[in-house]
Amino acid sequence: MKKFKDVIGFHGHACPGLALGYRVALCALSKLGDRAADEEIVAIVENNSCAVDAIQVVTGCTFGKGNLIFRDYGKQVYTFLRRPSQSRKAKTIHGIRISVKWKPHEETSREKTMWDRYMKGDRSDEVLETVHQRKSKKIKAILNARDEELFMVKKERVPLPKEAEILPSITCERCGEKVMESKAKVRAGKFVCMPCFNKKK
Ligand SMILES: [Zn+2]
Ligand SMILES: [Zn+2]
């Protein structure tokens, strides 16, 4: 099982969003079983925040494998499902929907003041120290909270997403770059890539 430090190693810094994503991922695996070496688990994420990096590292649902589906809703909601082992003709499948409900503790007046100063561009030592401590406190609180304090979890039937396809590439007749056949368009009788198709001239 991946540790929080593995997640920081991938993401580049520790932050509350990453900690939440880490907890979401652990919760998902506790219900669905082992991490996805291949495409056996699919994650549908409804935001593109720091949290999603933790989800990729821990669950093995990654952008590159195509088992991470991004819906740009700006919601802290994550749905996970495990693909059936045999290719049954199921159109829908039971997934786990995890919705983050966690709220940070009330801030002290010093924290509020320092945060205001930080937002106005103050980078003095006293401001940075308080801001840093405030962040560490949040991360710690998230890592130590119980699942029930962090999320609402429910089972839900979701449409079974298509598996990633590997299709042949062709060469765009305008820019000369390779493009996956299924993404090519026809413009003035030529096979072109999408950016070339959309160009004004
Ligand atoms: Zn971050
Ligand atoms: Zn092109």
The answer to whether the CB of 177 falls within 8 A of the CB of 195 is no
Q: Which residue has the higher pLDDT, 163 or 26?
A: 26
| Ligand 2 geometric centre to CA of 70 (Å) | 25
State the Cα–Cα distance between residues 186 and 160, nearest whole angstrom: 31
Ligand lying closest to the C-alpha of residue 21: 1
Ligand lying closest to the C-alpha of residue 178: 2
In terms of pTM, does the model score above 0.85? yes
| Ligand 2 geometric centre to CA of 63 (Å) | 23
Ligand lying closest to the C-alpha of residue 52: 1
Q: What is the pLDDT of residue 175?
A: 96
| Ligand 2 geometric centre to CA of 142 (Å) | 46
Ligand lying closest to the C-alpha of residue 198: 2
Ligand lying closest to the C-alpha of residue 176: 2
| pLDDT digits 0-9 by tens, 128-142 | 999 999 999 999 999
Q: What is the pLDDT of residue 19?
A: 98
State the Cα–Cα distance between residues 147 and 84, nearest whole angstrom: 26
Ligand lying closest to the C-alpha of residue 197: 2
Confidence check: pLDDT of 66 > 80? yes
Amino acid symbol at 139:
I
State the Cα–Cα distance between residues 67 and 52, nearest whole angstrom: 13
Confidence check: pLDDT of 105 > 70? yes
Local confidence band at 3 (pLDDT 50, 70, 90 cut-offs): very high
Residues 6+ apart with CB under 8 A from 112: none
Confidence check: pLDDT of 91 > 90? no
Q: What is the pLDDT of residue 200?
A: 86
| pLDDT digits 0-9 by tens, 19-57 | 999 999 999 999 998 888 888 999 999 999 999 999 999
Mean pLDDT confidence for 152-181: 92
Confidence check: pLDDT of 88 > 70? no
| Ligand 1 geometric centre to CA of 176 (Å) | 37
Mean pLDDT confidence for 137-165: 93
Local confidence band at 87 (pLDDT 50, 70, 90 cut-offs): low
Burial (Cβ within 10 Å: 0-12, 13-18, ≥19) of residue 114: buried
| Ligand 2 geometric centre to CA of 178 (Å) | 8
| Ligand 1 geometric centre to CA of 51 (Å) | 7
